[in-house]
Structure 1
Amino acid sequence: MGAIDNGIVSPAREIIQNSFNVSKSIGAWMITIYTLVYAVSMPISSKLSDIIGRKKMYMFGIIVFGIGSALCGFSNFYGNFAFLLTARVIQAIGAGGILPIATTVIGQSFPPEKRGTALGMVGAVYGVATIVGPTLGSTIIDLAGQNHWGFIFFINVPICIVTLFLSGVMEESKREAKSRLDIPGALILAAMIASLLYALTNINFFSVIESLQQQKVYPFLITFVILIPIFIIVEKRAADPVLSMKYFKNREIVTIFIIAFIVGIGMMGMVYMPQFAENTLKLKSGSGGYLVTLLAVFSGAASPLSGKLLDKKGAKLVLIIGFACTAAGTLVLGLLAAKSLTLLSVLIGIAFMGVGVGFTMGPPLNYLILGAVKEEEGATALAAMSLIRSIGVTISPGFMIGFIVDASKNIQPELMHMLQSGFAKAGGGDMLAAMSSNGANASKNLFASLQNADVTTIVSQLTDIFKKILPEEAQIYVLPALNSMASDIENTFQHILNRGYTHMFIASAIIAAIGVVVSFTLKQKPGLKIN
């Protein structure tokens, strides 16, 4: 439930923002604010669970998440956009207390020799939920109707109620707290996380210098840098710090954090799989999500297998296999599928990526971190690792989408050249001259209207635009010629975008290869604790 909820909102984002009549930049906050608050709440909720007991904190998280979900749903009928954002904050606070605690309880409920299998099951559920979220969101919207998008949130409420009853069987685990919650440390940590993640969300990694000069980036990065030494001083003086500095002094734990960061960056290659599949296979927009569901199937099947292998061979081998499969899958998609344009090549790439996700997403990292700290610190250490992975996830979209945006710049000149040549052969003369009644900006207006086009709609959108901007005498030559060039137009559009996807997948493969190298440096053996 916690893993699904961010993805489930993605397909409904435009519907929700349009229902409140807000812009895309404002509408994006329904996801951004959830991500920020979720990242902030994880380490604080986990530290509270160490102090007051994991069962109490887990049940509190479920209740808060359920209330937030209900409020999000009610905003569809009774609230406004500000009300929805407030409800998303409440929802994210609850979510931050669910996953790290649940993973810790399950992992520590099994002896070390069986812990991998247990965590493998958790990883299977989490991995499948993360990937299936967007598809489930689309399905609920289709069933309930676009005017009833609130049901993507209401569905959580009965699940929360059932989970509360089931969680009654959990055993409480409480330790003697050295002190109350480190409130100064928690507040500074929250400010640090929020500042860093907000700045990273707004950075264009293909125009870093320009991005760093923007007011929505540099003040927040400066705030983050200033708070680092303050946070270190406060935590060193705290009797029971919210984030222990000793984690960053231990080589093995730092290596685990680096791998978590790499996993976070690599995860986002999956986000663009639907659009890649649609462009490569000329599928209708929105239908690519079904192939991502297939990726979830491979991931869900691989995760328990990785858990079994964890128990027998340890996390090092599992991570190496996982990163190697991810690299293989992305290379198949970028170098083979993007050029051959066949369903088989896409499926092979998806299969490798699914296995890679199942082997790296959760089980081995959770296994490593739980084995590297004292039992009573398990939830806190897991939250710290999840936070670092969240930073990787935050960086990744701006980095990955840059390849697609860069390739898209070639759509206008290459299509213009093709159309000019085709119209001239058809006897239509110079296309730009035929647009003279609309002035020199006709060409610019033409392609400005194609921002939302895909490979299946590019020809029809071009046809509609030419009907609007061309005089009737020009349309006699242009429209038949455009129809005759339909296949060439689609192929050109398809190949231009796939160049960007190829570069994106190659970058993902390089990141996975770095993961392989870093995994080789792991020294920890199964069951070894680092205190």
Structure 2
Amino acid sequence: MENENGYSKKVQSALMVMFLLGIFIGGMDSGIVSPARTVIADALGVSADTSIWMITIYTLVYAVIMPISGKLADRYGKKKLFVFSITVFGIGSALCGISDYFGGYSFLIVARIIQAIGGGGIMPIATAFIGESFPKEKRGAALGLVGATYGIATTLGPTIGSGIINIFGRDNWGLLFFINVPICVVVVIMAARIKIKEKEFTDKKLDVLGSIIVSFMILSIMYAVTNLNFHDFGQSLKSTNVYPFLIVFIVLLPVFIYRENRAEDPIINLDYFRNRNIRITLIMALVVGCGMMSVVFIPQFGENVLRLSQGSGGYLITVMAICSGIAAPVGGKFIDKYSAKAVLLVGFASTVVGTLTLALFVSKTNNAIGLFIALALMGIGMGLTMGTPLNYLMQTYVKREEASSAQATLSLIKSVGIAVSPNILVNFIAEAGDKMPTKLMEVMPKIPGMASSASHSLGVSDVPSNILNSFQNADVTSITGVMKEFSNFMFDKAKPLIEQGMVGHLPPHTSMDTVFNGMKAQYLHQVDGAKTVIENTFQSTLNSGFASLFIASAIIALIGFICALFLKNKDSESSK
């Protein structure tokens, strides 16, 4: 028996598995590299600043490719372009893995570019194909599986990456990329065995010039927002990594609009931005992209709340992944039964409640139960908003022959949110970090023979880089040891003042060094005695930064909630 698209149930199931496998590796790869970046940098002998390019270059190329691959899929067939994307992604992944043994960092960067060229086409094409392969009354459930797969893959990516490094060792980081290759091979074999006919829409001339212009625009705006520092926004705008690229984007924008309004087959249909419902959907995509990145800060926050050692909070993401994975398909079915608008409202509301719980309750009480409840609510919110309803709405509002390019536009807008959000949110952690030295010095024992002001001045002057690095990487479990290391340095700096105060007060035949070393040992013992106070101060100060961060995340989700209120109640309303 065939469905309305001409596919038998067996073929449709096989296609579903094929596309979901592609979505899984695409989603997983977006986060699997992040926890291993420093490992790869050390292995290839590059600095931390240079190593960030292994992620930045992938993000930039991925964003550029999305609208182009979406348009090509609409013209030449979604299955063809999907298989091409998977093949290129697999080749790029293999080359990335090989760079562990051959070629060095430059080779890895080239391989990441190839990988991104393939990766940029996977999600929008797969989403469009799955959405149109099911009748409208079952489309929500089908897209719910897409949302669940992508949500689980993106949230588990960092955990899988850390697990591979921990199990196989730092010298085998190439496995992070090799893991994609067999899955890509399976997808290509499945595609070769599944025979379907797709109509090509090639009667209009491809907008090559528009593709070039939009590529430069995307590269410019994505690179600029990635380098913006909202902690020092004014100075950041003056950076050569920001303002020249913003200028390029601003100059090209009217040129692009002029070109697309006259193109026979525009690379991005500007009518999307003229249609009220599509415009609201795209704004919500930006909001969802921004909101997704609050997940990045969950492990560190959880470690601080539960007093775990650094790097052990990744499992908290699993809580969100499970809840998101359950919520996405359930939300898809609710879309079919009720509406995408209703699901979005529930999802954004759940996110608001979850983030406010973290900000107003967990950050002040360090309550473990409250933490897990809040993470569950955030996971449910992500599952209900991250992909399914927005993909459903976009597919509903556009013509079938524009499905892939419409989904690509949606993904592109979401990517802009993903790029800019961390730079905004990390500002709150940076502000807490600025307060940390002063807060800690207030609870530290005073060095004998020194005024409090002198103690404070020594705390911020001429500190060795190894101590600064230890302080910057400290967590609630290690901060007392770091402060002892700092105290040892501070005590030595204060030695002349202390010795000056002891002149004339020492017993006969007593060495100045003996007395000084005894005082230092006693002081460090006092620091040990103040461990609880030091840890509490560190924890509460850092939590204050996280509280502000999660309040900002709640505001972002609230904006999404308000936008959803303005959607038409009937999702079936035509975009025309």
TM score, norm. by length of structure 1: 0.96
Q: Deviations over 1:374-420 (max 9, x none)?
A: 0010000000011001101111000000000011111111111211x
Query: What corresponds to 1:530 in structure 2?
Result: 575
Hey, what's the Cα distance between the residues in 1 that align with 2:574 and 2:410? 16
2:88 is aligned with 1:64 = yes
Q: CA 1:272 to 1:170, structure 2 compared with 1: closer, same or farther past 3 Å?
A: farther
Q: Confirm whether residue 148 of structure 1 aligns to residue 172 of structure 2.
A: yes
Tell me, in whole angstroms, the C-alpha distance in 2 between the residues paired with 1:170 and 1:354: 38
Q: Matches of 2:385 and 2:461 in 1, distance apart?
A: 54
Residue 309 to residue 444, structure 1, CA distance change in 2 (3 Å): same
> For residues 171 and 412 of structure 2, what CA distance do their matches in structure 1 show?
35
Name the residue aligned to 1:318.
343
Aligned twin of 2:74: 50
| Equivalence for 1:175 | 200
- Bigger drift between 469-478 and 496-505 goes to 469-478
* Cα shift at 1:181: 2.6
Contact 2:441 2:456 in 1 (8 A): no
Whether contact under 8 Å (1:54, 1:172) holds in the other structure is no
Distance in 1, matches of 2:385 and 2:460, equals: 56
1:365 equivalent to 2:390? Answer yes
* Cα drift, residue 2 of structure 1: 0.2
Q: 1:215 to 1:361 in 2, by over 3 A?
A: same
Q: Is the 8 A contact 1:333 1:505 kept in 2?
A: yes
The 2-side partners of 1:395 and 1:434 are apart by 40
Q: CA deviation at 1:11?
A: 0.6
Which residue is equivalent to 2:4? none
Match for 1:245: what amino acid?
L
2:304 to 279, 288, 302: 279
Amino acid in structure 1 at the alignment position of 2:299 = P
Alignment of 1:461 with 2:456, yes or no, is no
Alignment of 1:381-420 (within 5 A): 381-419=406-444
SS in 1 for 2:471: coil
- Return the alpha-carbon distance in structure 1 between the equivalents of residues 308 and 537 of structure 2: 16
Compared CA separation, residues 110 and 227, structure 1 to 2 (3 A): same
Following the alignment from structure 1 to structure 2, what is the Cα–Cα distance between the partners of residues 449 and 322? 40
How far the C-alpha of 1:456 sits from its partner, in A, is 1.0
Q: Distance in 2 between matches of 1:112 and 1:355?
A: 24
Mapped to 2, the partners of 1:207 and 1:433 lie a distance apart of 29
Distance of aligned partners of 1:465 and 1:206 in 2 relative to their CA distance in 1, 3 Å threshold: closer
Residue of 121, 128, 131 corresponding to 1:97: 121
* 8 Å CA contact 1:40, 1:194 repeated in 2: yes
1:374 correspondence with 2:419: no
Query: Is 1:470 matched up with 2:491?
Result: yes
CA distance in 1, matches of 2:404, 2:334: 23
Equivalents in 2 of 1:114, 1:84: separation in Å? 42
Partner of 1:506: 551
Matched position secondary structure for 1:441: coil
CA offset digits 1:413-432 (Å, max 9, x no partner): 1111211xx236xx675588
| C-alpha distance after superposition, 1:51-110 (max 9, x if no partner) | 111111000001000000000000011011111111001001101111111111111011
Deviations 1:96-155 (A, max 9, x none): 111111111111011111100000011000001110100000011112110110100000
Aligned residue pair count: 527
CA spacing shift, 1:413–1:251, aligned 2, 3 Å: same
The Cα of 1:445 is off from its aligned counterpart by: 8.3
Cα–Cα, structure 1 residues 317 and 436, in superposed 2: closer, same or farther, change >3 Å?
Answer: closer
> Partner residue of 1:197?
222
2:512 is matched with none
Equivalent in the alignment of 2:372: 347
- Quote the offset at 1:433 in angstroms: 6.3
Specify the code of the residue in structure 1 equivalent to 2:73: S
> Measured at CA, do residues 182 and 445 of structure 1 come closer, stay the same or move farther in structure 2, by a change above 3 Å?
same
Q: 1:62 to 1:434 in 2, by over 3 A?
A: closer
Cα RMSD after superposing both structures: 2.0
Aligned residue number for residue 161 of structure 1: 185
SS at match of 2:26: coil
Could you say what secondary structure the match of 1:176 adopts? coil
- Provide the rounded CA distance (Å) in 2 between the counterparts of 1:366 and 1:150: 34
8 Å CA contact 1:20, 1:80 repeated in 2: yes
Residue 132 (structure 1) aligns with: 156
Identity of aligned residues (%): 48
Contact residue 66 and residue 408 of structure 2 kept, 8 A? yes
Retained in 2: the 8 A contact 1:264–1:391? Answer: yes
Alignment of 1:407-486 (within 5 A): 407-419=432-444, 422-423=445-446, 430=451, 441-442=462-463, 449-468=470-489, 470-471=491-492, 472-486=517-531
Matched, 1:497 2:542: yes
Q: Which runs of 5+ in 1 are unaligned?
A: none
- Output the CA distance in 2 between the equivalents of 1:440 and 1:46: 55
Decide whether the 8 Å contact of 2:277 with 2:568 is kept in 1.
Answer: yes
Change (3 A) 1:438 1:401: closer
- 1:184 aligns to what SS in structure 2? helix
Computing the radius of gyration from Cα coordinates, the structure with the larger value is 2
Cα displacement (A) at 1:511: 1.0
1:335 lines up with 2:380 in the alignment: no
Counterpart-to-counterpart distance in 2, 1:311 and 1:262: 23
Give the 3 Å change call, closer, same or farther, for CA 262–442 of structure 1 in structure 2: closer
Larger deviation: 135-144 or 432-441? 432-441
Mapped to 2, the partners of 1:253 and 1:193 lie a distance apart of: 20
Q: Call closer, same or farther: CA 1:302–1:459 in 2, change over 3 Å.
A: same
| Letter matched to residue 226 of structure 1 | V
Question: Does the 8 Å contact 1:434/1:474 carry over to 2?
Answer: no
Q: Secondary structure at the match of 1:505?
A: helix
Amino acid at match of 1:160: C
Counterpart secondary structure, 1:286: coil
The alpha-carbon deviation at position 442 of structure 1 amounts to 4.9
Q: Deviations over 1:347-389 (max 9, x none)?
A: 0100100100000000000000000000010000000011001
The answer as to whether partners of 2:446 and 2:455 remain within 8 angstroms in 1 is no
Report the equivalent of 1:261: 286
Residue deviations 1:293-320 (CA, integer Å, cap 9, x gap):
1110000000011001100111100100
Residue identity in the other structure for 1:127: G
**Conserved? CA contact 1:178–1:239, under 8 Å:** no
CA change 1:524–1:189 in 2 (3 A) is farther
Matching of residue 114 in structure 1 with residue 159 in structure 2:
no
User: Which residue among 234, 237, 244 is the counterpart of 2:259?
Assistant: 234
TM-score where L is the length of structure 2: 0.88
Cα 1:524–1:234 change in 2 (3 A) is farther
Superposition deviation, residue 249 in structure 1: 1.1
